[in-house]
Chain A
Amino acid sequence: MNDFHIFLQLLLSGVISGSIYGLIALGFVVIYKATEVVNFAQGEIMMMGAYFCYFLITSFHISFLPAFIITLLFASILGILVEVVILRPLVGEPIFSVIMVTVGLATLLRSVVGLIWGHENLAFPSPFPDTTIEIFGVIATPVEITAIIASVGLFIMFFFFFKYSKLGLATRATAFDQRWSFLMGISVRKIFSLAWILASVVASIGGIFLASMGGLDPSMSLIGLKVFPAVVLGGIESIVGAVLGGLIIGIAENLAGGYLSTYFGSGVKELSAFMVLIIVLMIRPYGLFGKKEIIRV
């Protein structure tokens, strides 16, 4: 393997983890745009989806596809529950409370999963074969290829959903101005729930892919924290930006892990994303493509 192959291999792992980050960031941005809630529990919702799917397959011995579909249903219900029970009472509260309530929720979900399933890494009964595919000298597994294809498919679906469908338009209208959309006859409540459903479903799909690649443990929810560098890079207002930000962070991280860990130790891979984040925020306090809010007293 020559240097170029190593680079390509790192790039591929970057694209794979980047597409998962993109999926989570997508959900984060959908929630933020529609409901103005900063969701620190996005990674935990992803983890809940993966664990629920694992639970269905191992405890009820159903095959992957029905388990996958039931998981998506479960994710929708979880999304609605979180929105109605936890975030609706906090509408109109300061952003500090909203951030804190999702941080609390994240802690709660992570510890409940730890309580039930423990902290050991569990092998996920993956439906994908264990073979490897070689493309241009770069090695990938079927699940990784599927993850990339599925993510791209979801991104395109979401793009068209928000651009052309009536519900997507209603969501964008709600994001633009809640009171006006309410007056225009849009049910803002339903849109809030819809945003949470979409975000949880997309996150769960990401979680299931992640579990198929590396198994399950509660620390997988920490992946959810990578959405912050991604959205800061891509702009919290833009769905396309968040997805691209996720990809960039994934690639940057893997390149840093591949080339810099000999100099700075093993943690540099996780750290690099946050270094990028602080530098970006120092230069542009609203993110690279974020909209500068005009505030009036």
Chain B
Amino acid sequence: MPSGQYKTSYRDDLKIFQTTWIKFWLGFLLVILTVFPFVAGPYFIYTANLIGIAIIGVLGLNILSGYTGQISLGHSAFIGIGAYAATLLSLKFGIPFWLSLPLAGFITALSGLIIAIPCLRLKGLYLAIATFAFFFIVEYVFVHWDSVTNGTSGLTVPEASVFGIAIDTDIKLYFLILIIDICALSFANNLFRTEVGRAFIAIRDNDISADVIGIDITKYKIYSFMICSFYAGVAGSLYAITLSFIGPEHFSFLMTIEYLAMGLVGGLGTISGSIFGAVFMTVLPEGIRLLRDVLSDDFPFFVTRLADLQSSVYGLVIVLFLIFEPTGLFGLWIRVKNYWLAWPYSYR
């Protein structure tokens, strides 16, 4: 176990891989993740894909809310824009997936720019309300712009192919998502070692102080919105591929709540927290589904009201975590780790 890390230079402190052990464990994890789809059943691969997509989406939200401190209640709108953009690009223009994925990201980033402009001067409550209103407008567009989005009937997503390999099985999709996840995580990790990321954190901690020390708040808030929505757009286009059908009902406000819950449960303002949160909040509804199947004989009304059961658990999880564990699973993990690092001389 690594303990008593001693650093003599700022470069050491900035390192992503602080010790050789971390490199070792990450390599080990990568091996497990590579072997996983060949061992696990299709259901687990599908769940893993959902987790991978959720990680990308929640990373975006974490960059905006956790690191820049801007509340967004419109995250599902961004994910929806990404999903629709990728699908429409390949449906109407026949653009291949490897191009439509980043293009969808850029289109969503542009929409993030549009929402950022009225939001630049807003803070706290007003920002929450404005992003919420943005969500309603986007949902309205999805439902009513029949000629493009096909209204409530939704769109069937064409099969994707990357460099000639058709993504026709969940295993292939799994590796695609894994690669994109690694890119997304390393970008996010490195972002906060750069000037831009540091500026985000400064704005979160105190926007007026940040302004005073010469950070262009307007510019960096726009950056943050755009990066957030780029991530959301990528997550959305992968989500569309996974579902192979998209409609406005997939991008409801409940999805925003789900992502916010992931951020909060994992721990806002931490990269690894995003992973914890995504895993927890994706496994949780599946767990509830299993529980329902077990309990269905005793409580027959659970069967028909699965959605309510799941969303009530989302609500409960958000409330309980905020009251009892505001730093999320990441904070819990740090505390447990520190406890065992100094064991048996640990104090709480």
CB within 8 A of B319: which of A104, A228, A232, A264?
A104
For the complex, is B260 an interface residue (Cβ under 8 Å from A)?
yes
CB within 8 A of B129: which of A107, A228, A264?
A228
Residues from chain A with a CB closer than 8 A to the CB of B123 are 285
Residue ID in chain A nearest B133 by CB atoms:
A274
- CB–CB A114/B305 < 8 A: yes
For the complex, is A125 an interface residue (Cβ under 8 Å from B)?
no
- CB–CB B315/A107 < 8 A: yes
- CB–CB B133/A106 < 8 A: no
CB within 8 A of B323: which of A90, A109, A112?
A90
- CB–CB B322/A112 < 8 A: no
Nearest-CB distance from B317 to chain A (Å)? 8
For the complex, is B267 an interface residue (Cβ under 8 Å from A)?
no
Q: Give residues of chain B (122-168) contacting chain A, Cβ–Cβ below 8 Å.
A: 122-126, 128-130, 132-134, 136-137, 140, 143-144
Give a binary string over A248-288; 1 marks a CB under 8 Å from any B CB, 0 the rest. Answer: 00000000000000001101101100110110011001110
For the complex, is A152 an interface residue (Cβ under 8 Å from B)?
no
Residue ID in chain A nearest B256 by CB atoms:
A103
- CB–CB B137/A114 < 8 A: no
Residues from chain A with a CB closer than 8 A to the CB of B129 are 228, 232, 277, 281
CB within 8 A of B254: which of A107, A109, A274?
A107
For the complex, is A89 an interface residue (Cβ under 8 Å from B)?
yes
Residue ID in chain A nearest B268 by CB atoms:
A96
A270 to B264, CA, bound (A): 30
For the complex, is B316 an interface residue (Cβ under 8 Å from A)?
yes
Main SS class of interface, B? helix
Nearest-CB distance from A120 to chain B (Å)? 12
- CB–CB B323/A277 < 8 A: no
CB within 8 A of A278: which of B130, B254, B268, B308?
B130
A96-B69, A100-B322 known; A278+B133 contact, CB < 8 A: yes
Give a binary string over A70-98; 1 marks a CB under 8 Å from any B CB, 0 the rest. Answer: 00000000000000001001100101110
A96-B71, A111-B315 known; A225+B308 contact, CB < 8 A: no
- CB–CB A111/B71 < 8 A: no
- CB–CB A107/B140 < 8 A: no
For the complex, is A183 an interface residue (Cβ under 8 Å from B)?
no
Residues from chain B with a CB closer than 8 A to the CB of A138 are none
A185 to B285, CA, bound (A): 48
Residue ID in chain A nearest B122 by CB atoms:
A285
Residues from chain A with a CB closer than 8 A to the CB of B137 are 271, 274-275, 278
For the complex, is B180 an interface residue (Cβ under 8 Å from A)?
no
For the complex, is A115 an interface residue (Cβ under 8 Å from B)?
yes
- CB–CB A281/B305 < 8 A: no
A38 to B311, CA, bound (A): 21
A214 to B14, CA, bound (A): 61
- CB–CB B144/A265 < 8 A: yes
A187 to B142, CA, bound (A): 50
A275 to B309, CA, bound (A): 33
A-B contact count (CB 8 A): 131
A247 to B263, CA, bound (A): 37
CB within 8 A of A104: which of B65, B71, B124, B318?
B318
For the complex, is B261 an interface residue (Cβ under 8 Å from A)?
yes
A101 to B325, CA, bound (A): 12
- CB–CB B125/A38 < 8 A: yes
A271 to B65, CA, bound (A): 26
Nearest-CB distance from A227 to chain B (Å)? 10
For the complex, is B196 an interface residue (Cβ under 8 Å from A)?
no
A100-B260, A267-B140 known; A228+B322 contact, CB < 8 A: no
Residues from chain A with a CB closer than 8 A to the CB of B125 are 38, 95, 99, 236
- CB–CB B312/A297 < 8 A: no
- CB–CB B71/A281 < 8 A: no
For the complex, is B331 an interface residue (Cβ under 8 Å from A)?
no
Residues from chain B with a CB closer than 8 A to the CB of A110 are 311, 315
- CB–CB B312/A107 < 8 A: yes
CB within 8 A of A111: which of B73, B206, B312?
B312
15 further contact pairs, Cβ within 8 A, besides A115-B309, A232-B129, A285-B126: A38-B128, A93-B326, A96-B69, A100-B264, A104-B257, A104-B315, A104-B316, A104-B319, A107-B318, A108-B319, A111-B310, A111-B311, A115-B301, A229-B133, A281-B126
Instruction: Identify 10 residue pairs between A and B in the complex whose beta-carbon atoms are under 8 Å apart, listed by A's number.
Output: A99-B124, A104-B257, A104-B318, A106-B315, A107-B314, A264-B144, A267-B144, A268-B140, A270-B136, A277-B130
- Which residue numbers of B lie inside 8 Å of A, CB to CB? 65, 69, 71, 73, 118, 121-126, 128-130, 132-134, 136-137, 140, 143-144, 206, 208-209, 212, 254, 257, 260-261, 264, 268, 301, 305, 307-312, 314-319, 322-323, 326
- Which residue numbers of A lie inside 8 Å of B, CB to CB? 38, 86, 89-90, 93, 95-97, 99-101, 103-112, 114-115, 118, 225, 228-229, 232, 236, 264-265, 267-268, 270-271, 274-275, 277-278, 281-282, 285-287, 295, 297
